[in-house]
């Protein structure tokens, strides 16, 4: 009855000719019109109010709602087709010297891996698996069967249903059949700070310096999860463990550098406001692996023969759930501009119904990957801890197109801040036990375009699963779009609903169709602290057949692809970057300071080096200027309209916070250990809403402490903690004759207990990877911080101040009282040649927060100490709170 009533309401909507937008993302209608609550109809031309025929990137309606430009998703942002792979010159794994068995009788792992290694050593190549079955297994001590760790390598079969990759190992806990990459984005020493807050999507980043960056560089944009950031989302309680963590959000490539004006132009717009209060940092990385291809084969696991596939059996040793926990068919880590094409799972002979053990394709910290014509089906284990996910986005601007998911826990899912700008296009999901969803933390601005659900639905709601989930889930997305969704059958947990959306800020459901096409956007109170108003935009419900265009991704890409040669790389006014620059944004409004009398000067740079540019300057401070860009016979015009602020910009308030970009403060809460020093930072909010950094603006700030027995201001903005207690620090600043003050209370805690004995000084700590919990945290003597990295073989490298004799190490493990960790300890004098001192050592599961000592068989001289982790008894995570090295007794 609910579905029938919804269809009747939509029919009535089609009779309406006038729609007036109202508050809360809803609409007001004529009194005689009957419409479903919270929804509005498409226009007479089938177009969304947010996507008119003259749409351009950055277009907003009268209430500031807008659709991101999602056209950048996929291999090389869609600007190059997927390569046609030529088999001439390829490595045939069945030929000498490899002689891989294609009958499936003998293990072919080493033969195929050697072919991959040889192609990698040659700078790239095609590794060809002719028709047949290839049995593979992860070698002892390795977390994957086949690994590709170099660029320009393609693993190609003879086709789906012709070439079969068969993983014959039943114990695949935390292991992959195929792994691409395996490390993380490797940061360099070149970095810059954002110099001005940005509230709109932009490709133009103002930085404190642009020196050291070059066109073509890959960069990682990170933010710190400050208390203010968490409070803004209402996640101060749910995400408490993230406080102070450095989170990756955007992976980008630089397309223009302007050292004179200190700007960087990146290849894809940002997807969320970037505020200088959150220590936005742009760091150059080493070039990731690229041009990796997997194509034209079928893939499967032998099913696990043990019992125990319950929700929490991943914790129970000896069960099928434990042994298949987080087993992945294809795991891609920190790769860019690569593809997975024409691949399907299959049911091996002897399996009941299962194709794979747990997970399908994971796109982890990836950029511009394309997954095309892929089918993932029937995982065996669909329990908790992330099992049974067939496709998972954890990276930027990836594309999954024309692909299917059948019989999953979650068919498709998004996870973490770094999952943004991704597109699902023409995908199909059937009979998942849980819905396709946005899963944890804030996955910003993703597009689900022309998805068909058959026993599934899309869930983008604020999630609270109680105390067990207080550091996950929460507000899961913002500004994501569900465009033209087809419902054949709703998920078993829903009644006529195929999309439910409760996003932070605005979210958009535009166009649904099919036998089941209902949506639910009027959701409130999932987490009371999280203000998810207004209700998400719901338009064209039941009208998908007449939605124009039928595909948002295809239309946006066509617009960008046809016009990009006449795009802009930067727009400046009086030498300062304009906010919200996008390559093809055609209209800008710039508000000049109060009292401006001089005519502003407009500057711009074309994106293409072959383009010519002509600028018509404004006639006055209230005028407008026009930028004409011409290339290949095409001219694109951009208008910049100027206004003078009605009132002077005066300070309205000042806030202060710990500057966690500098060591000293505890990671969680406003706390510091006695004897430590912590740097303070302040931000001033002006009456026009702008936030400025007083240091960059040349405005002085004075700090004072209410109890100098507990601590004092040492130099300028450095607080010296003396003894435990609670202290209030006040910041005072005067700007344009107006004085503002702000206070914040801090806690001085007892310093962390250290192990007995003489301890070696540590110069620095690095690691093979991290999840935002950085390696430096293991030397900060803060029990609330840690280093974490997922996967067997991830390592922590401790560099001592000098080479000296060491006879033991002490380690405080994260959650060490609830699980044992397995690891090696290796030492080196030169950082190149390492000697293993402890082999597969197990921690002891002591009392909570107890430091564990691990003596060496004999003292050794070392400058470098490497901890090589093999995960813990519950999962593959390596997590260390603190690490110490002991000087040997003389």
Q: Look at residue 1 and tell me whether its pLDDT is greater than 80.
A: no
- The closest of 289, 328, 325, 336 to 178, measured between CA atoms, is 328
Alpha carbons 418 and 395: distance in angstroms, whole number = 5
Q: Look at residue 238 and tell me whether its pLDDT is greater than 60.
A: yes
Residues in Cβ contact with 876 at an 8 Å cutoff, skipping those fewer than 6 apart:
143, 173, 174, 326, 790, 791, 792
pLDDT tens by residue, 103-158 = 999 999 999 999 999 999 999 999 999 999 999 999 998 899 999 999 999 999 99
pLDDT tens by residue, 839-855 = 999 999 888 889 999 99
Q: What is the mean pLDDT of residues 548-560?
A: 97
3 state SS of 233: helix
Q: Look at residue 167 and tell me whether its pLDDT is greater than 90.
A: yes
Confidence of residue 19 (pLDDT cuts 50, 70, 90): very low
Q: What is the pTM of this model?
A: 0.87
CB 560 within 8 A of CB 530: no
Q: Look at residue 809 and tell me whether its pLDDT is greater than 60.
A: yes
CB 624 within 8 A of CB 554: no
Which residues face 883 on adjacent strands?
Answer: 811
Q: Look at residue 829 and tell me whether its pLDDT is greater than 50.
A: yes
Alpha carbons 562 and 567: distance in angstroms, whole number = 10
| Residue 464 or residue 254, greater confidence | 254
CB 437 within 8 A of CB 410: yes
- pLDDT value of position 13: 38
Confidence of residue 576 (pLDDT cuts 50, 70, 90): very high
Alpha carbons 219 and 286: distance in angstroms, whole number = 9
Q: Is the dihedral of CA 396, 397, 400, 405 positive or negative?
A: positive
- CA 788, distance to chain mean position in Å, is 17
CB 519 within 8 A of CB 538: yes
Range of lowest pLDDT (17-26, 116-125, 459-468): 17-26
pLDDT tens by residue, 674-706 = 999 999 999 999 988 888 899 888 899 999 999
Confidence of residue 30 (pLDDT cuts 50, 70, 90): very low
Confidence of residue 27 (pLDDT cuts 50, 70, 90): very low
How high does pLDDT run on average in the chain?
91
pLDDT tens by residue, 334-371 = 999 999 999 999 999 999 999 999 999 999 999 999 99
Q: What is the mean pLDDT of residues 813-828?
A: 95
Confidence of residue 22 (pLDDT cuts 50, 70, 90): very low
């Amino acid at each position: 009855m609910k579905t029938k009533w919804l269809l009747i309401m939509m029919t009535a909507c089609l009779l309406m000719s006038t729609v007036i937008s109202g508050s809360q993302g809803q609409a007001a209608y004529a009194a005689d019109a009957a419409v479903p609550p919270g929804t509005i109809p498409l226009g007479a031309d089938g177009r969304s109010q947010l996507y008119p025929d003259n749409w351009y990137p950055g277009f907003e309606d009268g209430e500031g709602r807008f659709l991101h430009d999602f056209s950048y998703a996929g291999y090389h942002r869609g600007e190059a087709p997927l390569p046609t792979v030529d088999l001439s010159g390829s490595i045939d794994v069945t030929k000498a010297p490899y002689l891989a068995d294609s009958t499936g009788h003998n293990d072919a792992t080493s033969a195929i891996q050697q072919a991959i290694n040889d192609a990698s050593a040659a700078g790239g190549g095609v590794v060809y698996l002719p028709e047949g079955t290839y049995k593979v297994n992860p070698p002892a001590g390795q977390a994957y069967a086949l690994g590709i760790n170099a660029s320009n390598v393609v693993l190609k079969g003879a086709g789906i249903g012709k070439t079969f990759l068969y993983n014959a190992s039943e114990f695949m806990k935390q292991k992959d059949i195929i792994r691409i990459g395996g490390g993380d984005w490797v940061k360099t020493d070149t970095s810059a700070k954002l110099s001005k807050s940005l509230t709109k999507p932009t490709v133009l980043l103002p930085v404190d310096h642009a020196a050291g960056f070059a066109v073509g560089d890959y960069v990682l944009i990170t933010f710190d999860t400050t208390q203010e950031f968490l409070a803004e989302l209402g996640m101060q309680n749910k995400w408490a463990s993230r406080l102070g963590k450095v989170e990756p959000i955007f992976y980008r490539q630089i397309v223009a550098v302007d050292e004179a004006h200190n700007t960087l132009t990146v290849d894809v717009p940002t997807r969320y406001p970037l505020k200088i209060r959150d220590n936005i940092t742009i760091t150059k990385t080493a070039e990731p692996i690229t041009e990796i291809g997997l194509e034209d084969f079928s893939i499967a696991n032998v099913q696990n023969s043990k019992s125990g596939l319950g929700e929490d059996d991943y914790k129970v040793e000896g069960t099928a759930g434990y042994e298949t926990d987080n087993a992945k068919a294809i795991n891609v880590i920190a790769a860019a501009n690569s593809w997975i094409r024409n691949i399907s799972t299959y049911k091996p002979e002897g399996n009941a119904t299962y194709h794979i053990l747990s997970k399908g394709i994971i796109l982890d910290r990836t950029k511009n990957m394309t997954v095309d014509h892929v089918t993932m089906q029937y995982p065996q284990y669909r329990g908790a801890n992330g099992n049974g996910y067939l496709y998972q986005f954890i990276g930027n601007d990836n594309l999954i197109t024309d692909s299917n998911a059948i019989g999953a826990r979650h068919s498709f899912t998004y996870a973490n801040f770094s999952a943004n700008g991704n597109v699902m296009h023409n995908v199909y999901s059937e009979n998942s036990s849980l819905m396709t969803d946005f899963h944890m933390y804030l996955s910003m601005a993703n597009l689900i375009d022309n998805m068909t659900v058959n026993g599934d639905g899309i869930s983008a709601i604020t999630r609270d699963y109680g105390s067990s989930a207080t550091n996950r889930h929460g507000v899961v997305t913002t500004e994501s779009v569900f465009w033209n969704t087809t419902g054949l059958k709703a998920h078993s947990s829903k009644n006529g609903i195929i999309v439910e959306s409760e996003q932070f800020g605005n979210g958009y459901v535009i166009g649904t169709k099919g036998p089941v096409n209902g949506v639910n956007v009027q959701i409130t109170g999932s987490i009371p602290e999280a203000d998810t108003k207004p209700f998400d935009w719901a338009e064209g419900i039941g009208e998908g057949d007449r939605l124009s265009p039928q595909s948002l991704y295809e239309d946006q890409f066509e617009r960008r692809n046809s016009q990009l040669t006449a795009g802009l790389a930067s727009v400046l006014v009086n030498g300062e970057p304009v906010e919200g620059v996008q390559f093809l944004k055609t209209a800008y409004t710039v508000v000049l300071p109060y009292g401006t009398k001089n005519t502003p000067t407009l500057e711009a740079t074309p994106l293409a080096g072959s383009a010519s540019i002509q600028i018509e300057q404004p006639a006055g401070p209230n005028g407008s200027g026009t930028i004409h860009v011409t290339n290949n016979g095409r001219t694109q015009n951009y208008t910049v309209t100027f206004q003078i602020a009605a009132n002077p910009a005066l300070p309205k308030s000042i806030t202060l916070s710990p500057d966690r970009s500098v060591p000293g403060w505890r990671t969680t809460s406003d706390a510091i250990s006695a004897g430590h020093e912590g740097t303070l930072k302040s931000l001033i909010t002006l009456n026009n809403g702008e936030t400025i950094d007083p240091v960059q603006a040349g405005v002085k700030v004075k700090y004072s402490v209410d109890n100098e027995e507990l601590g004092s201001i040492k130099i300028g903005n450095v607080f010296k903690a003396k003894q435990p207690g609670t202290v209030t620090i006040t910041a005072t600043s005067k700007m344009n004759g107006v004085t503002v003050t702000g206070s914040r209370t801090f806690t001085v805690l007892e310093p962390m207990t250290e192990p007995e004995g003489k301890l070696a000084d540590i110069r620095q700590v690095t690691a093979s990877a991290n999840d935002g919990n950085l390696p430096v945290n293991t030397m900060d003597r803060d029990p609330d911080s840690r280093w974490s990295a997922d996967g067997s073989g991830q390592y922590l490298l401790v560099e001592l101040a000098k080479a000296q004799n060491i006879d033991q190490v002490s380690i405080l493990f994260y959650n060490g009282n609830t699980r044992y960790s397995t690891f090696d300890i290796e030492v080196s004098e030169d950082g190149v040649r390492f000697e293993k001192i402890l082999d597969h050592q197990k921690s002891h599961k002591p009392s909570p927060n107890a430091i564990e000592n691990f003596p060496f068989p004999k003292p050794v001289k070392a400058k470098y100490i490497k901890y090589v982790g093999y995960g813990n008894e519950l999962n593959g995570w390596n997590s260390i709170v603190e690490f110490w090295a002991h000087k040997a007794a003389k």
